[in-house]
């Protein structure tokens, strides 16, 4: 079964689905939704089969396929997945059907073609899968850039207030990063002997100066994508303007391409430069944690608030990546998955609230829990998951990151811990102002606010809640897959975990 070309089929399948959905007649929107949902469930089923077929103790890269594309430049359609890519692919496959289900009525309010909205979501899924499955730097770059196009139209055509501004800002920021990366990709190709194969490139010796420049080219692109402070300003705008489903994908998956790119490309391909730049990256990450958390506390717009919390969380992931210990690395990758689940849930729930109220402002709510108790409960749960309460999945990853960092860099770990306190502040205060306290009389006049979660919405939130709780208590299925890949990456970087503290840390995590 492992001979089956999982990755290429997974990449192409959503694209085919998108074409089918786009060709459906415009006046039959329900059919388009059903086909899109069915198609994304097919993709999910296939990726579950792939998950089962993945051998935990097997090779680092599995499901490798390679077909020639542009022989003159040594470009191939090479797909391969390590544990890190695998968990991200699973995250995409899980999130997309839920987002489609959650966005059931989103496109109708925009007066634009409904089938096109769902087709764009499927195109986005294709590019997201491709970017994580690619093992050829050129192919990765192609998906990295093409990914912008469906997202641009999702924000620009179907978004809310200030959508044009947000869409253009998103596109330009990402394109600027992408073009820096293009220069670095070409440079890597030249010094690497005209090949784009990841495995071949990871063995090339690069002179120190060149390596640092190439690292910077890649890092800037990924730091904009992730986004890290100070490249983050596009995310609150894009996240605030995008329809809730698209925003969940944007923050839940798309931004992970940045952190994934760092662990897959920046660290193993440019190990010395990565170590040289690590203090700077750690500094940016720590600033991001504190700064974004403070801004989140001050936000009055729900979607922008969630976007800022994400920037803070990306700070944690950045700390984990550049601490260069196995725990921290595993924690960072685990965080990428868990954050996708938790923030995805938070975005979707917030989206449901906003759809009912017709406003995204915190001050327009107040005591909503009295009208929609289940929805308020889910929001509370999503908030707790987002602040990494023990028992929810993000706690495990945040803990691993802090432990792994503490063994090698105490100041960073200590400062980062402050972020947890701030997280409690922004989440709890947001929950309190929207769903607790005295009922805002304006809410009672809106009929929609009296309808609690319907069956469709329950189907959206239930799987995410279940996954967050399961992985909160039993993260082993994920860590088993992630650990070998992270260890291999740390070997590429040439860092070994500090021996004495490893034992004590393992004691502590048991």
Partner 1 sequence: MTPEFVLPPIDYAALAPILIMMGAAVLGVLVEAFVPRRLRHPIQLPLALLAVLAALTMVVVNADKRVITIGVIAIDGPTLFLQGAILALSAVALLLVGERAIERGGAFVAQAAITADSPDDRRQAANAGGAGEVYPLVTFAVGGMLIFVAANDLLTMFIALEVFSLPLYLLCALARRRRLLSQEAAMKYFLLGAYASAFFLFGVALLYGFTAGMGERPAAVDFATIHAAVANSTQSPVLLFAGMALVSIGLLFKAAAAPFHVWTPDVYQGAPTPITGFMAACTKVAAFGALLRVFHVAFEGARWDFTPVLGAVAVLTMLVGAVLAVTQTDIKRLLAYSSIANAGYLLVGVLAPGQEGLSGTMFYLVAYGFTVLAAFAVVTLVRDADGEATHLSRWAGLGRLSPVYASVFTFILLAFAGIPLTSGFMSKFAVFGPALEGGHAWLVIVGVLTSMVLAFPYLRVVVMMWLSEPGESTPTVTVPGGLTSAALVIGVLATLVLGVVPGPLLDLASGAADFVR
Query: What residues line the site for partner 1 (CB under 8 A)?
Result: 69-73, 141-142, 145-146, 148-149, 153, 156-157, 163-164, 167-168, 171-172, 175-176, 179-180, 182-183, 186-187, 189-190
Phi, psi (5° rounding) for residue 57? -100, 20
Pick the closer one to partner 1 by CB: 63 or 77: 77
Least gap, CB of 8 to partner 1 (angstroms): 15
Q: Provide the 8-state DSSP code for 439.
A: P
Pick the closer one to partner 1 by CB: 231 or 324: 231
Distance of alpha carbon 434 from alpha carbon 190, whole angstroms: 55
Joined together, the tokens standing for residue 473 give 């208590």
Least gap, CB of 141 to partner 1 (angstroms): 7
Least gap, CB of 156 to partner 1 (angstroms): 5
3-state secondary structure 354-422: HHHHCCCEHHHCCCHHHCCHHHHHHHHHHHHHHCCCCCCHHHHHHHHHHHHHHCCCHHHHHHHHHHHHH
Q: Which residues contact 186 (CB under 8 A, 6 or more apart)?
A: none
Pick the closer one to partner 1 by CB: 161 or 458: 161
Least gap, CB of 172 to partner 1 (angstroms): 6
C-alpha separations of 51 from 83, 94, 471 in Å: 10, 12, 16
Least gap, CB of 111 to partner 1 (angstroms): 10
DSSP 242-263: S-HHHHHHIIIIITHHHHHHII
Residues 131, 116, 354, 337, Cα dihedral to 10°: -20
Pick the closer one to partner 1 by CB: 160 or 340: 160
Pick the closer one to partner 1 by CB: 90 or 167: 167
Pick the closer one to partner 1 by CB: 208 or 438: 208
3-state secondary structure 75-134: EEEEEEECHHHHHHHHHHHHHHHHHHHHCCCCHHHHCCCHHHHHHHHHHHHHHHHHHHHE
Least gap, CB of 168 to partner 1 (angstroms): 6
Q: Which residues contact 298 (CB under 8 A, 6 or more apart)?
A: none
Least gap, CB of 144 to partner 1 (angstroms): 8
Q: Exposure pattern of 219-251 as b/e (b: 16+ CB <10 Å)?
A: bbbbbbbbbbbebbebbbbbbbbbbbbbbbbbb
Least gap, CB of 261 to partner 1 (angstroms): 16
Q: Which residues contact 243 (CB under 8 A, 6 or more apart)?
A: 103, 106, 107, 110, 154, 158, 159, 160, 351
Pick the closer one to partner 1 by CB: 104 or 141: 141
Let me know how long the chain is: 510
Q: Which residues contact 91 (CB under 8 A, 6 or more apart)?
A: 252, 253, 256, 336, 337, 340, 341
Distance of alpha carbon 83 from alpha carbon 105, whole angstroms: 36
Least gap, CB of 213 to partner 1 (angstroms): 9
Least gap, CB of 186 to partner 1 (angstroms): 5
Residues 198, 204, 210, 215, Cα dihedral to 10°: 30
Pick the closer one to partner 1 by CB: 167 or 345: 167
Least gap, CB of 218 to partner 1 (angstroms): 14
Least gap, CB of 362 to partner 1 (angstroms): 27
C-alpha separations of 124 from 40, 156, 259 in Å: 12, 14, 18
Pick the closer one to partner 1 by CB: 220 or 278: 220
Residues 70, 492, 232, 416, Cα dihedral to 10°: 170
Least gap, CB of 468 to partner 1 (angstroms): 35
Pick the closer one to partner 1 by CB: 172 or 374: 172
């Amino acid at each position: 079964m492992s001979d089956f070309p999982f990755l290429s089929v997974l990449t192409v399948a959503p694209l085919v689905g998108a074409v089918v959905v786009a060709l459906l007649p415009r006046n039959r929107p329900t059919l388009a939704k059903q086909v899109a949902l069915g198609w994304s469930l097919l993709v999910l089923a296939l990726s579950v089969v792939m998950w089962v077929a993945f051998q935990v103790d097997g090779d680092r890269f599995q499901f490798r396929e390679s077909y020639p594309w542009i022989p003159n430049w040594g470009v191939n359609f090479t797909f391969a997945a390590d544990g890190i890519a695998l968990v991200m692919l699973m995250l995409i496959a899980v999130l997309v059907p839920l987002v489609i289900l959650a966005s059931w009525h989103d496109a109708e309010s925009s007066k634009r073609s409904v089938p096109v909205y769902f087709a764009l979501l499927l195109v986005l899924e294709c590019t997201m899968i491709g970017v994580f499955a690619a093992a050829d730097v050129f192919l990765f770059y192609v998906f990295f850039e093409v990914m912008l196009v469906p997202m641009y139209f999702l924000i620009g055509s179907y978004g809310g207030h200030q959508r044009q501004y947000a869409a253009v800002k998103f596109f330009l920021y990402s394109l600027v990063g992408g073009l820096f990366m293009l220069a670095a990709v070409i440079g890597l190709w030249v010094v690497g002997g005209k090949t784009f194969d990841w495995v071949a490139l990871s063995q090339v010796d690069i002179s120190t100066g060149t390596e640092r420049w190439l690292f910077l080219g890649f890092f800037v692109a990924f730091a904009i994508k992730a986004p890290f402070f100070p490249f983050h300003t596009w995310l609150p705008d894009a996240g605030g303007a995008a329809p809730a489903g698209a925003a969940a994908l944007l923050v839940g998956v798309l931004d992970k391409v940045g952190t994934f790119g760092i662990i897959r490309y920046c660290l193993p391909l440019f190990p010395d430069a990565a170590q040289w730049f690590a203090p700077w990256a750690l500094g940016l990450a720590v600033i991001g944690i504190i700064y974004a958390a403070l801004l989140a506390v001050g936000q009055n717009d729900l979607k922008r608030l969630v976007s800022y919390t994400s920037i803070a969380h990306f700070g944690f992931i950045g700390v984990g990546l550049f601490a260069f210990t196995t725990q921290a690395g595993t924690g960072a990758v685990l965080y990428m998955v868990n954050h996708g689940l938790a923030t995805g849930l938070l975005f979707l729930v917030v989206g449901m609230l906003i759809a009912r109220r017709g406003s995204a402002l915190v001050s327009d709510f107040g005591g909503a829990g009295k009208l929609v108790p289940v929805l308020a409960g889910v929001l509370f749960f999503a908030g707790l998951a987002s602040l990494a309460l023990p028992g929810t999945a993000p706690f495990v990853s945040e803990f691993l990151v802090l432990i792994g960092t503490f063994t090698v860099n105490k100041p960073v770990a200590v400062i980062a811990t402050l972020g947890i306190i701030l997280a409690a502040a922004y989440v709890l205060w947001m929950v309190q102002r929207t769903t607790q306290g005295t009922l805002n009389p304006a809410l009672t006049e809106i009929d929609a606010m009296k309808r609690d979660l319907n069956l469709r919405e329950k189907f959206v939130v239930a799987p995410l809640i279940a996954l967050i709780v399961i992985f909160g208590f039993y993260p082993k299925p994920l860590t088993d897959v992630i650990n070998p890949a992270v260890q291999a990456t740390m070997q590429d970087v040439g860092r070994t975990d500090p021996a004495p503290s490893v034992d004590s840390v393992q004691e502590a995590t048991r």
